[in-house]
Amino acid sequence: MAESVPASGPRSGQVSGEDAGDRHEGERLQKVLARVGVGSRRTCEDLIAAGRITVDGQVAVLGRRVDPETALIEVDGAPIGVRPGLVHYLLNKPAGVVTTADDPQGRPTVVGLVPAEPRVFPVGRLDADTEGLLLLTNDGELTHRLTHPSYGVEKEYVAEVRGAPTRAVLRQLREGVELEDGPTAPARAALLDPSVVRLTIHEGRNRQVRRMCEAVGHPVLRLVRTRIGPIADRSLAPGSWRSLTTDEVRALAAAVATDPTAPPVA
Domains defined along the chain, listed by start:
17-75 (3.10.290.10), 88-246 (3.30.2350.10)
Catalytic residues: 127
Kindly state the average pLDDT of the residues 11-20.
Answer: 40
Question: What percent of the chain is modeled with pLDDT above 70?
Answer: 88
* Cα separation, 56 vs 142, whole angstroms: 15
* Cα separation, 97 vs 109, whole angstroms: 5
Would you call the peptide bond into 6 cis, given omega within 30 degrees of 0 as the criterion? no
> What SS3 class is residue 46?
helix
In the predicted model, is pLDDT for residue 158 greater than 70? yes
What pLDDT, on a 0 to 100 scale, did the predictor assign at position 259?
40
Kindly state the average pLDDT of the residues 152-181.
Answer: 95
Kindly state the average pLDDT of the residues 80-102.
Answer: 88
Q: Which of 12-26, 95-109, 165-179, 233-247 has the lowest mean pLDDT?
A: 12-26
* Cα separation, 139 vs 122, whole angstroms: 11
* Cα separation, 147 vs 154, whole angstroms: 11
Kindly state the average pLDDT of the residues 222-238.
Answer: 97
In the predicted model, is pLDDT for residue 8 greater than 50? no
Q: Which residue type sits at 246?
A: T
* Cα separation, 114 vs 23, whole angstroms: 34
pLDDT tens for each residue of 24-62 = 478 889 888 887 777 788 888 999 999 988 998 899 999
- What predicted TM-score, i.e. pTM, was given to this entire model? 0.75
By residue count, the chain amounts to: 266
Burial class (CB in 10 A: 0-12, 13-18, 19+), 127: middle
List the Cα angle 172/175/179 in 5-degree steps.
70
State the chain's mean pLDDT as an integer. 85
Is residue 95 within 8 A of residue 128, CB to CB? The reply is yes
In the predicted model, is pLDDT for residue 20 greater than 70? no
